[in-house]
């Protein structure tokens, strides 16, 4: 299993009148974790796109536990629990500064050939980067 962790502080513009992070911003926080995890694996989404593969989100599930607040340091934990074939299943947990679980969710992204716009298998070069995390 591959795991990754990153942190961020919600900006004022991401909050509502009560100072809570607006619920629609959590998918963007998941995306921050995905993007930074790609860097951790030695690549980027833009590199994958240059090589002809796109990764649109197929589905997403979000469960809100507690409110995040403006300028509070959030820790986003992300896991890939299975070796990707034609899709990437991400699991997320977001914690506040008190280490309380405030949000959890999942996203499924699908590998798509940018020329045909049809689903394709995980590129071998990317699978090679993930394989060590899934070998026993």
Catalytic positions are: 16
Q: Distance between CA atoms of 46 and 80, rounded to whole angstroms?
A: 20
Q: Distance between CA atoms of 122 and 37, rounded to whole angstroms?
A: 16
């Amino acid at each position: 299993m591959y795991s990754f962790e990153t942190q961020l502080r919600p900006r004022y513009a991401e909050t509502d009148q009560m100072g809570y992070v607006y619920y629609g911003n959590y998918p963007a926080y998941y995306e921050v974790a995905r993007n930074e995890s790609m860097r951790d694996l030695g690549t980027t989404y833009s590199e994958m796109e240059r090589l002809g593969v796109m990764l649109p989100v197929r589905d997403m599930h979000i469960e809100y536990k507690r409110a995040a607040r403006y300028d509070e340091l959030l820790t986003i934990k992300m896991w890939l629990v299975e070796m990707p074939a034609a899709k990437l299943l991400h699991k997320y947990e977001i914690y506040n500064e008190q280490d309380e679980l405030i949000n959890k969710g999942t996203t499924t992204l699908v590998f798509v050939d940018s020329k045909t716009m049809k689903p394709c298998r995980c590129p071998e070069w990317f699978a090679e980067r993930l394989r060590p995390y899934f070998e026993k």
